[in-house]
Chain A
């Protein structure tokens, strides 16, 4: 009887997740002759990804943007989570948290568009700075990497605030008290007691940030423009303009490999921390 109940979910996952994934990996070893896909075992796509500078550059762009976004988001979200957990009165904390993540619920496509309105040539930021006399010429933020990073950081600060907050409120106040009794100053307590204890929340959130950020197409496409490409943009370009499914598949496998590496890196860190 147990089998009958698991079977539908397992079959669905096998048919629409495992099989497609295997088909994609198989396709990544095919190549194009004209408009035709020629199947076989040809590592040519992978060789091309690591030797063709456009491809390699997209991978590097993605990695750079993702690392910057992850670090900046953690650094901004940690104090926010701590202030909500320790400064805001307990009965207001849930509301404070709900408000801090409210923009989560704007449509994902629209969120990037809204940042375009804020950061654009005639946008709110430029108009404000111009009228304050802080700048003479509008800043070129939209259609650059800076805009992509701002759009990402906005989203992931919300996410990380949640994971770090969840970690912080579980900490017993006795840790800080014990540290104080043992003569630790505020900074030492923070640096050697509180911060290490929040590492699980930080690493969990940072891993999620890394995975979602490196695989995202919309934010760099809307905010970053086409001056430099990220890996997902390159994949979409292969699908759309050139219809090169084998190359797009190989790029996706590389993307998947990067995410898997990030997983192993962060899980190792977590275990080391617990020891």
Chain B
């Protein structure tokens, strides 16, 4: 039974890692196709990819859209969570429901709805329209994470600050936000990784300037190539670095 467990674990990890290993290994392929046999080691594809302007622009676009949309989602989510956790408002259960609702809807449907409205309103598609979509999907996440993190401890500190004469914006900026630094950072980084990797909304809501997943998608159209492997490996490296940073600096500290 014990041996069987370890065998299962080994097979499961092999299955989970197989595509990643193949992806990374053949990004070093010294040949035109990223399939066996392995013809030798080269960094040529990385050089080529890093020198490609469209890709680097898409990378920058992705970083901008992810950063800005996550910041907006975090701000809106934090303010709403603060209000709904502190003040008794009529209909607060309904408001919570409305704010969480986008989480339960497929991205494709969110994108199609926005596309319909933007078309009717004559709004031209751009990185901004994709960013609007990304705020829609990340706002519920930021709201839920910060709402769950607010407790009595913060409430007392905020009350003390108010008693000492702090105006509401000072309470928010100097007391509430710093006390919630870890969940706020977690919400922000999660939003960034979701937005950074999101495809369907970015695909339907951008036109000329596109984000990285959309650019990778158009690379796929011309068939398989070690260049795509190199891009994929680089994206993987960036994401894993983010996750490790999050693990070390945010979750470690909250323990």
Residue ranges of A at the interface with B (Cβ–Cβ < 8 Å): 1-6, 8-10, 12-14, 16-21, 23-24, 27, 76, 79-80, 83-84, 87-88, 98-100, 102-103, 105-111, 113-118, 120, 122-124, 127, 154, 157-158, 211, 214-215, 217-218, 222, 232, 235, 239, 245, 248-249, 252, 255-256, 259, 263
Contacts and interface: CB of A to CB of B under 8 A. Distances in A.
A157 B16 contact: yes
Main secondary structure of the interface of B (DSSP, over half): helix
B249 interface: no
Contacts of B35: 117, 120, 122-124, 127
Contacts of B168: 1
B93 interface: no
A99 B10 CA distance: 12
B120 A255 contact: no
Contacts of A217: 108, 199-200
Given A105-B240, A109-B217, A117-B26, A24 B139 contact: no
Interface residues of B, number: 82
Contact of B113 (A2, A6, A24, A124): A24
Contact of A113 (B108, B133, B224): B224
Contacts of B155: none
Contacts of A232: 108
B23 interface: yes
Of residues B18, B107, B108, B231, which shows the largest number of chain A Cβ atoms within 10 Å of its Cβ?
B108
Given A106-B239, A110-B232, 5 more contacts: A10-B99, A107-B236, A218-B199, A239-B204, A256-B105
Contacts of B67: none
Interface in B120-144: 120, 132-133, 135-136, 139, 143
8 contacts: A3-B83, A13-B98, A19-B117, A21-B113, A103-B19, A113-B216, A114-B19, A116-B224
A263 B82 CA distance: 29
B124 to A, nearest CB: 16
B208 interface: no
A168 to B, nearest CB: 14
A100 B197 contact: no
A100 B8 CA distance: 13
B80 A8 contact: yes
B22 interface: yes
A215 B106 contact: yes
A196 to B, nearest CB: 22
B102 to A, nearest CB: 5
Nearest to A27: B116
A109 B219 CA distance: 11
Interface of B: 2, 5-6, 8-9, 12-13, 15-20, 22-23, 26, 33-37, 75-77, 79-80, 82-84, 86-87, 89, 95, 98-99, 101-102, 104-110, 112-117, 119-120, 132-133, 135-136, 139, 143, 168, 193, 197-200, 204, 212-213, 216-217, 220, 224, 228-229, 231-232, 235-236, 239-240, 242-243, 247
Nearest to A122: B35
B15 to A, nearest CB: 7
A8 B247 contact: no
Contacts of B95: 6, 10
B36 A18 contact: no
A79 B12 CA distance: 10
